Structure 1
Amino acid sequence: MNSWLQASSNAFIVAFFLYCFSFIGYAVAVAGRRWSNRDPEAHTKRWGRIGFTLAVLGWAAHLVFFFTRWKGGGHIPTSNMYEFMTFLGMAIMFAFIIVNMIYRNPLVGAFATPLVVIIIAYASVFPSDVQPLIPALNSIWLKVHVTTAATGEAFFAVGFAAALVQLLRVVDPSRKDKAGRRASRWLEFVLFFIVIVVGFLISVFGFRAGGYQAEFTQETFSIDQQGNEIDTVQKVEYGLPPIVAPYNSDTVAMDSYLGIDKPLFEAPSWMNGVNAGRKLNTVIWSIISGLIIYGLIRLVIRKPIAAAIHPYLDGIDPDDLDEISYRAIAIGFPVFTLGALIFAMIWAQIAWSRFWGWDPKEVWALITWLFYSAYLHLRLSRGWLGVRSAWLAVIGFIVVLFTLIGVNLVIAGLHSYAGV
C-alpha cells in the first residue's frame, strides 16, 4: 500500500469515529431537553453546536480520505460499491451541513449522523482494494454522472431524516383508534428495518472478526449461442455461517457454529446463480440478527422504539421539520435529475451507443425520479403537507436504497460491476 492510500485509510477511520462522536453529541442535545432542569433550550443549543462541530471535522477528514485515495488510486474513488457508498456518506454529510447552516435544527443531526455511520459501515463490508477501471468506467462522465447523482441522493437522505423525526414527533403511540394504531405500526416497521440493517453489519463484522469461513463448489448449467449446454463448476465462499447452501453444491470446508457442522437447507432450484445462495443466507442472518437486537431493545425499554423516542421530541414544531424535509428534497431533485438521468444518458450513449436500454439500474433511477416528481407535484399542487408528505419522503428514500443496493447486488445488469 502506497503512502497516499495509507493516509486515506487513516483519514477514513478518523472520519468514522468523529461521526460517531457527533451522533453522541446530537443525542445528548435531544435527550437533554428532558434531563436539563435549568434551561433545556440552552442545553440543546450547546450540545447541538458540539455535534455540528464534530460533524464538520468528520467531513473534513472524509474529504482527506476521498482526495488521498483519488491520488493514490489514480482515478476518482466512485467506481465500486466500497468507493461509491463512502462517497455517498460524505455527500450526505455535506447535504446535512448545508441544511443545518440554514435551519440550525439539532434534531435532524440526531438522525442524519447515524445514517452516515450506517452507510460508511455498510461500505466497509465490501473489498476496499483499489481496482483498475473497466473500459466503460474510464471516462470523464464517471466524475460528472456519479458525483451529481450521489449528491442528489444525499439531499434525499437528509429529507428522509427530517421526515422520520417529524413522524416520530406527530404519530401518537397512545392513540387507540384504527388510524392511530396503523400509523404507529408502520413507523415501528421503518425503525425495525433500520435495526435489521444494523443487525446485518453486526453479523458481518462479528463473524469477520472471528475469521469465519465456509466454501462450496456449485455446479451450474447454461446454454451458449449455439444451443449447447455448458456445465460449469464454481467456488462459492461464505463469510457468514451457511444456514442455506448454494443450489446444487457440495461442501468443501465449513467451520462449525453452535454445534451445527452443515447447512440447514439448500437454496431453491430457481436461485441457481453463483451468488444467489450466499445472498439469501445474508438476508436470513440480517433478519435473525435484527430480530435479536430489536428484541433486546424492546426488553430494555419495554415499549416500541417509536413510543420510547416520542416523549423526547415534545415541544418541537413539526412544521419546521416538514419545511426542512421539503427543502432538502427540492434541492436534491434537480441535482439528481442532472446526474442520474441527463448525464447518465449522455454517458450511456458514449459507452454503449444508446441513450436508454432498460437496464435495471436505469429503470430504477427513472422510478426514483418519477416518485420524487410525484412527491413535489402532490405537495405543491395538491397541498400534501405534514404527515402525508413525510411518509412520501420516507418511502422515497427506501426506493433510493433499493436503487443503490438492491439493483447492484441482486439484479444482474450492465451496472453489476458496482457490486464487485
Structure 2
Amino acid sequence: MTTTSFPLAAAANENLADISNYLVYSAMAVYTLAFVAYIAEWAFGSRSRIALTSAALTRTPAGAASAEGAAPGVTVQVKQGAGTTVLARPAVVTRPGPGGRDVEDGPGASGESEQGDLSGRIAISLTALAFLLHAGAVVSRGLSVQRAPWGNMFEFSTTFSMVIVGAYLILLALKKNVRWIGLPLVTTVLLDLGLAVAVLYTDSDQLVPALDSVWLWIHVSLAICCGALFYVGMVATVLYLFRDRYEAKLADPSGPQPGAFARSVLARVPSAGSLDKFAYRINAAVFPFWTFTIVAGAIWAENAWGRYWGWDPKEVWSFITWVAYACYLHARATAGWKGRKAAYLAIVAFLCFLFNYYGVNLFVSGLHSYSGV
C-alpha cells in the first residue's frame, strides 16, 4: 500500500514563523496576568464566606454551636431553654462523597464571593484573550509551512496547552462548574510554554516524508485532544485526593483537624464525591478516543513502515498508557476499588502518558526519534 501524503511544500515562511513566536510570548504574558487574577480570586475568596463554609463542615457536638460562629448558608440549631433557633440556608447542591459522606459543594467551588467573583471574571477574560493569542500562534505556525502545526515536540507542546485551555473555556461556556480548574490549568500552561520555548524550540521547517501524511492530522491531533482531556481529569483526581482527606478529618472531630490554609483553599473546590465523579466521566469519555488514536497510529505505521506493530518504544508506551487507563476504569467500576485506590491508578495512567511524550521522545531511540524535539 502506498503512503498517502501531501505534495512537498515550499520553504518555510519566516515572517509567519516570527509572528507565531511573537504570539506565543504575548500569550504567555497574558496567561501570567490571568495567573495573578486567579491568585487574587482564591485569596479574596478565602477571606469571604468561603473559609466559613469549610469550617461549617466540621461536625459540631449537639448544643455546642452558636449563631455567631455559624457559617452563612449552613443550618445551625441553637438550643435555648425550651426553644430552638434555626438559621435557614439557601438551596445548595449536595452530593454523596465516595466515602459515604454527605458534603456540600461550597460557594468557593464556583468562585462565589463579591471580591473573588470579580477577580474570577477578570481571570477568565484574560484566559480567553490569551487563548486567542495562543491559537493565533499555532495557526500561523502551521501556515508558515503549510502543514499541521504539530510535527515536533515544540509544536506538539504549544498545541497541547492550547487545547487544554480551549477545553476549559468550552466547559465554562457549557455552564459547567469548573472555575476551580483555572489556577492549576494556567500554571501548567505557563510551565508547558516556558519549557517549549526554552528547551524544545525548533525552527519552522518541513517534515520527513514518513511524517508528511494525512495521518498526521488524524493520529496526532487525536493524541493531543485526548492528552488535554486526560490532563483535566488528572487535575480533578489530584484535588479529589486532597479534598477527600480534608473531609475525612472534618468528619472526625476527635482527630487532627485541617489547618487554616487547607480550609481556605480546599473550600474553593467541589466535594470529594463531585470531583471523583467528574474525573471518572472525563476519563471514561476520552478512553474510546485514545483507543482509536492507537489504532490510527498502527494504520499510519503500516503506511509508513510496512507493518502495523513493531514494538517501537512509542508504540509500547502508548499501549501501556491504554492498559493503565483500562485498569482505572475497571477499578472505578469495581466496588472494592472505588475512591482513592482508583484515583492512584488514574494518576499513574497520566504519568504514563507524560512519559510516553517526554521520556520516550527525549531519552529513548526508536522509529519516532526522527521527529526530533
- The alignment's TM-score, normalised by the length of structure 1, stands at 0.64
Q: Please give the residue correspondences for 1:282-297 in structure 2 after superposition, counting only pairs within 5 Å.
A: none
Query: Aligned partners of 2:264, 2:366: CA distance in 1, in Å?
Result: 46
1:357 is paired with a residue whose SS is coil
Paired amino acid for 2:32: C
Q: Mean Cα displacement is larger for which, 97-106 or 48-57?
A: 97-106
Q: Deviations along 1:175-224, whole A, 9 cap, x unmatched?
A: 7xxxxxxxx9xxxxxxxxxxxxxxxxxxxxxxxxxxxxxxxxxxxxxxxx
Q: Of the candidates 132, 138, 155, which is equivalent to residue 83 of structure 1?
A: 155
1:309, CA displacement in angstroms? 5.0
CA RMSD in angstroms, aligned pairs only: 2.6
Query: Aligned partners of 1:310, 1:134: CA distance in 2, in Å?
Result: 54
Query: Aligned partners of 1:174, 1:375: CA distance in 2, in Å?
Result: 23
1:171 is paired with a residue whose SS is helix
2:194 is paired with a residue whose SS is helix
Q: Please give the residue correspondences for 1:162-181 in structure 2 after superposition, counting only pairs within 5 Å.
A: 162-172=236-246
Query: Aligned partners of 2:263, 2:370: CA distance in 1, in Å?
Result: 42
Unaligned runs of 5+ in 1: 176-183, 185-305
Paired residues of 2:327 and 2:345 also in contact (CA < 8 A): no
2:125 is paired with a residue whose SS is helix
Q: Give me the identity figure in percent.
A: 34
Ranges of 4+ aligned residues in structure 1 off by more than 6 Å: none
1:347, CA displacement in angstroms? 0.3
* Alpha-carbon distance change, 37 to 153 in structure 1, aligned in 2, over 3 angstroms: closer
* Alpha-carbon distance change, 356 to 7 in structure 1, aligned in 2, over 3 angstroms: same
Q: Of the candidates 322, 331, 337, which is equivalent to residue 285 of structure 2?
A: 331
**2:207 aligned with 1:137, yes or no?**
no
Paired amino acid for 1:41: S
Q: Corresponding residue for 2:54?
A: none
- Greater RCO structure (CA 8 Å; 6+ sep): 2
**2:103 aligned with 1:30, yes or no?**
no
1:21, CA displacement in angstroms? 2.1
* Alpha-carbon distance change, 54 to 69 in structure 1, aligned in 2, over 3 angstroms: same
- The alignment's TM-score, normalised by the length of structure 2, stands at 0.71
Paired amino acid for 1:12: V
Q: Corresponding residue for 2:21?
A: 9
1:343, CA displacement in angstroms? 0.9
Q: Corresponding residue for 1:191?
A: none
**2:191 aligned with 1:118, yes or no?**
yes
Q: Larger radius of gyration, structure 1 or 2?
A: 2
**2:10 aligned with 1:56, yes or no?**
no
Paired residues of 1:168 and 1:309 also in contact (CA < 8 A): no
Paired amino acid for 2:241: L
Q: Of the candidates 312, 335, 339, which is equivalent to residue 359 of structure 1?
A: 312
Q: Mean Cα displacement is larger for which, 84-93 or 364-373?
A: 84-93
Query: Aligned partners of 1:397, 1:31: CA distance in 2, in Å?
Result: 30
2:230 is paired with a residue whose SS is helix
Unaligned runs of 5+ in 2: 1-12, 51-110, 250-257
Paired residues of 2:180 and 2:268 also in contact (CA < 8 A): no
1:349, CA displacement in angstroms? 0.6
Q: Corresponding residue for 2:365?
A: 412
Q: Deviations along 1:118-148, whole A, 9 cap, x unmatched?
A: 1121111123311221111011111111011
1:78, CA displacement in angstroms? 0.9
User: How many residue pairs align between the two structures?
Assistant: 290
1:409, CA displacement in angstroms? 0.7
1:169 is paired with a residue whose SS is helix
Paired residues of 1:149 and 1:338 also in contact (CA < 8 A): no
Query: Aligned partners of 1:148, 1:58: CA distance in 2, in Å?
Result: 23
Query: Aligned partners of 1:134, 1:141: CA distance in 2, in Å?
Result: 14
* Alpha-carbon distance change, 27 to 393 in structure 1, aligned in 2, over 3 angstroms: farther
1:23, CA displacement in angstroms? 2.4
Q: Of the candidates 319, 322, 325, which is equivalent to residue 369 of structure 1?
A: 322
Query: Aligned partners of 1:358, 1:100: CA distance in 2, in Å?
Result: 40
